[in-house]
Amino acid sequence: MCGIAGLVSRNVRDLRSIFAMTAVQAHRGPDGAGHVLFDDKGNAGLWREQPDLSNASIGRLALGHRRLSIIDCTDSGHQPMSYDGGRYWITYNGEVYNYRELREELRRRGCTFRSESDTEVILAAYSVWGADCFSRFNGMWALAIWDSVEQCLVLSRDRFGVKPLHFCTQNGSLWFSSEIKGLLAAGTLPIKTNDQAIYDYLVHGTVNTSNHTFFDGIVAFPSGCYAVVSPQDLTVSPKAYWQLDLSAPAENLASFEQACDTFRELITSAVALRMRSDVPVGACLSGGLDSSSIVSLMARMTKGSLHTFTARFPEPEFDEGPWAQRVIDAVGASGHMSEPTEAGLISDFAQLVWHQEEPFSSASLYAQWLIMRQAREAGIPVLLDGQGADEILGGYRKFYAFYVMSLLRQGRVIDASREVLALLLKGDRGYWRWHEGSRYLPRVLRRHSFDMERLLRPTTHALSTTSAVSLGATPDIRQRQLLDLNRYSVPSLLRYEDRNSMAWSVESRVPFLDYRLVEFAIRLPVEHKLRAGQTKAVLRAGLRGIVPDAVLDRRDKMGFVTPQSRWMNGALGEHIEAVCLDSASTLDRWVDLRAALHVWRTASPSGREIGQSLVFRLGTLAHWLNRFKVSAS
């Protein structure tokens, strides 16, 4: 896990900005820096730290790197790294977990290695297979490879975008960086708002639903793609090396029991691969089904004490600590507990915005922020987490609603009635609560959107697009899962987790997004995921005897939540309101700020909840505008 940066130019230019681009990302790689600058004749000069360059370093290409040592912590693993006599150079962030198997295959093809790093395996793989190598990797990555013979730059990102990669073009140069702040540090790009992103954020609370960012002109490189860039035209044309094929038939398994066996084999393999490390590995543990499954499997593979990290709250309705403790006791882990507080969030808000780089819609990510900080303080630089399980296994409430609707559309009224009855008998009426289901109605029937939108300025209303996908417009469950994986929940959750973890120099790994497991789970018959009133049926049955029964039988899904509503009625609300008022002249460009504050303070409970959501977003937006000194477009 690291931070990368680079630039390639049509014409010779001063390349010294590469040092500022990596310096601002030092939190991603505290264990060292590296830079390679190519002069106007293509000769490479390598520096581990910033040199004393009294004169401009003139050339067309520079690669930079900040290192967090995880695999092969020796000097042999330093980047940027070269291969094949200097033909190939790489700057790379992430881990390719199956690097050992790939290295053996490449050795049989005649490749030689001078390190134990996965970085060198990537270079060797590219030298043998070209861009076809990316589909052979099982891992998370964002990388750039320079081929000095073909004179091209290759960019690539993992299948689900676990690792970030951003780019922009300006003044005849292409710039790329792990984090947006790396691009801003180059000092060549005007820092302006992307008003379309702000509209989607204020009205829908969505972020990262496309490759565009909140910064005008800065683009996220798409996941599951690579691009070959020529310095002559600098065009970035991503090509997919992997896609989920929903046209393929569902896994034709003989029985539910066989599906459970296959699932158990795949998740066990995914966890084992992600425990490969030359430094200590721990886990996030909420006490929910997903993280408890990972911790229970890790405990069977760990020699010595397994460290887990949990956020706790004094309010019982938000606290999953007792459930986490059950798992800790069952597997003999060493549990670390942190407690997010309202005062702590207010104190950390500006720093949280700085690391997140774009506005966020909920205070829930603050709990994760504290967990990552505690892991670094405990000396555990790698954590496994449960992101992705809800999306691939139908864990959200909406999936059960879609399932029942699909049964009714098929005329399977008895089956639909049986599922509804099972839910009611289990005491889970929440699936049918209005506030849970109303957002899946057609937009014309949703008063929620109207209440939010009537506060917007006319120029902001004009940004509404008919191309936006309605949450209720895709009733097919597999299509909904695909949307969540590629466009909605997963991209946002992964961005939050990457920035939260890397702020504290911690590498986060997500076994449920092993592509083999995702392909298997998406293609399973729905009845293997939603069954007898339970979500994630194949996981619950497949890990029976490994995960404590009490956790497997839980029905009170909570998610990663904080007492945000309560805090917004206290000091946090006062802080957010003050920040909004300080930025009133800017925020009024998009929204009637005074009206929004009035709705929040005076409306009915349901209206106050809507107003609170908007005011929190406005406060975060104001923090972001101030922290990054962004001007309106």
Is pLDDT at 472 greater than 60 in this prediction? no
Least confident of 126-135, 172-181, 401-410, 616-625: 401-410
Percent of the chain at pLDDT exceeding 70? 86
Question: 57: helix, coil or strand?
Answer: coil
Q: CATH number of the domain at 256-393+479-552, please? A: 3.40.50.620
pLDDT band per the 50, 70, 90 thresholds, residue 327? very high
**pLDDT averaged over every residue in the chain:** 88
Per-residue pLDDT tens digits for 491-546: 999 999 999 999 999 999 999 999 999 999 998 988 898 887 788 999 999 999 99
Under 8 Å between Cβ of 217 and 189: yes
Q: What is the pTM of this model?
A: 0.91
Q: Where are the domains of the chain?
A: 2-194+212-240, 256-393+479-552, 564-628
2 catalytic? Reply is: yes
The per-residue pLDDT for 252 is 60
Q: CATH number of the domain at 2-194+212-240, please? A: 3.60.20.10
Q: Which residues pair with 562 in a beta bridge?
A: none
The per-residue pLDDT for 477 is 79
Task: Supply 542's token pair.
Answer: 């497949």
Helices H, strands E: what count in the chain? Answer: 26, 18
pLDDT band per the 50, 70, 90 thresholds, residue 488? confident
Q: Give the Cα separation of 463 and 194 in Å (integer).
A: 11
DSSP 500: H
pLDDT band per the 50, 70, 90 thresholds, residue 447? very low
The per-residue pLDDT for 366 is 96
Is pLDDT at 151 greater than 90 in this prediction? yes
- Select the highest-mean-pLDDT range: 154-168, 241-255, 445-459: 154-168
Is pLDDT at 331 greater than 60 in this prediction? yes
The per-residue pLDDT for 596 is 87
Least confident of 143-147, 242-246, 358-362: 242-246
Closest to 385 measured CA to CA, from 332, 318, 311, 314: 311
Q: Across 16-100, where does the E strand assignment appear?
A: 33-39, 44-47, 58-67, 81-83, 88-96
The per-residue pLDDT for 60 is 92
Q: What is the mean pLDDT of residues 280-284?
A: 97
Who contacts 151 (Cβ-Cβ below 8 Å, separation ≥6)? Answer: 230, 231
Per-residue pLDDT tens digits for 376-401: 999 999 999 999 999 999 887 777 67
Task: Supply 537's token pair.
Answer: 């049926």
Is pLDDT at 23 greater than 90 in this prediction? yes
Under 8 Å between Cβ of 19 and 50: yes
CA distances (Å), origin 52, targets 47, 56, 185: 11, 10, 19
- Give the residue with greater pLDDT, 358 vs 247: 358
Least confident of 321-330, 342-351, 452-461, 541-550: 452-461
Per-residue pLDDT tens digits for 42-62: 788 877 666 666 555 888 999
Task: Supply 377's token pair.
Answer: 């303080």
Is pLDDT at 437 greater than 50 in this prediction? no
Strand order in the sheet with 334-338: 334-338, 307-311, 281-284, 382-384, 507-509
Per-residue pLDDT tens digits for 605-630: 555 666 788 899 999 999 999 999 99
HEC assignment per residue over 526-539:
HHHCCECCECCHHH
Least confident of 96-105, 411-420, 432-441, 524-533: 432-441
118 is in an annotated binding site: yes
Given 2, 133, 260, 284, the catalytic residue = 2
The per-residue pLDDT for 204 is 80
